[in-house]
Structure 1
Amino acid sequence: MSTTDFSDSDMDIDPLDEVFSEAAGHLQTIHHSIEVTDLLEIYGLYKQATVGRCNTQKPSIFNMQNRSKWCAWNDLGEMSCAEAKCLYIEKVQKVDTNWQPKHKISNKQTSSIGWVVHSIPQRQDDTDQKEEHEKNAFDYIKEGNLVQLQKTLTSEALELLDENGMGLIHWATDRNAAEILKHLIANGADVNFRDSEQQTALHYAASCGHVECIRILLDANADPSIKDADGKSCLDAADNTDIYELLKFDLN
């Protein structure tokens, strides 16, 4: 058989791309039986594999489905497309242990891009790349490090917004860090402090479904009637009926 029997596209096909396509096709036949958390991880990996680093704006806090998908993608940071493809394939194999791809990937190719990775951190923050002396109160809240936060917290920091337009109290609530939230309030944090979109910590707690944080904030006299820049209160952001009723009861 002569070389003219093969098209250029056939000769250029990457085995990793072939298996990735197989995995994506198989996923379409089983997606209805996959847990939401797994689907979010798979979505993030697919976007990272096909597009690269997240390049879209974070959706509104009131669009929680798209916001969750955005976070799943954005949390992958600078992960290479090749590694994302490998992790995507591995994840599909985990959710359906009976599936095996028809094509094979060479050991050399998979080992060079970190195939042996069995989990993805929930969040990949810049704190992982900072030296200890470079960290501040925001970093310690992201890490959930109450001990170091107690050593570094200042009254000035309580009034700051970071590059994401969030204050310390917003980060503590976003991370569902109840003890840290209590510490911030005990040290003078304004429970009605607003982020760059005029949302309070109650907006965050309501949209994320963080009941304990909601109770802590309400006990500290947080105002559930406060509206953000779009005219929405935390009741509009309520994750479910129980949370809505909890907030509405306090409002009344």
Structure 2
Amino acid sequence: MYHSVGDCSDDPYRITVSPDRLEQQLDWLRRRGLRGVSVADLLAAHSRGEGRGLVGLTFDDGYADFADNALPVLRRLGFGATVFVLPGRLGGTNEWDPLGPRRPLLTADVIRRLADTEGLEIASHGLTHVDLTLADDALLGAEIGGSRALLAELTGRDVRGLCYPYGTVDRRVADAARAAGYGYACAIDPGPLTGTFALPRVHIGERDGSWRLLLKYRLGGFRRRPVTLTGAGPVAAAR
């Protein structure tokens, strides 16, 4: 789980990695025979029994620096990824963060171009980055279903993935994601809800060098205990 890729000098939430550090981290995967792919490609490979050696890479919030700083690294290594964007804030900034600098978000034109890039998946992060577990039914429907419809219209492609803002999810929100037509949804540490509509992820930051990456990679499996959600079978969550 990545977020912004750029200047780390003012980063109170530790969500930014520098381009050089990103390349070091992804090269660490490559040297171990692992390949970064989108979550959709990872799940499809798992369903065919071909998921070994694949790592799902995600970039949350749709920061503009993904196109400038992350995409060139992914291309050099031949990796794919999923970019979770906010169609209600296209070309805006991360106004939901009370601290730190305002970071520009991807525009509609750039998202269309990214959607046509081989190996990249454009998926939803909701409309405006709100905690969905606190949303009433009307807002929940707009954030989940409305964002999927807008992204499909923008990209001309089916939108299969959703990422819950702040990683927060409960059964009501997970069931809403399934009912809206998504194929999967990502959280962070969903606990007993872990499954296709609450996939756990590991946060990666600027401080994660080789030893920290190894620990996160080795220990990650202990945090993943797949269970069955309503209407969805268990899934081995991506590392």
* TM-score when normalising by structure 2: 0.31
Which structure has the larger Rg? 1
Which structure: greater helix fraction? 1
- Which of 1 and 2 has higher RCO (CA within 8 Å, sep 6+)? 2
Which structure: greater strand fraction? 2
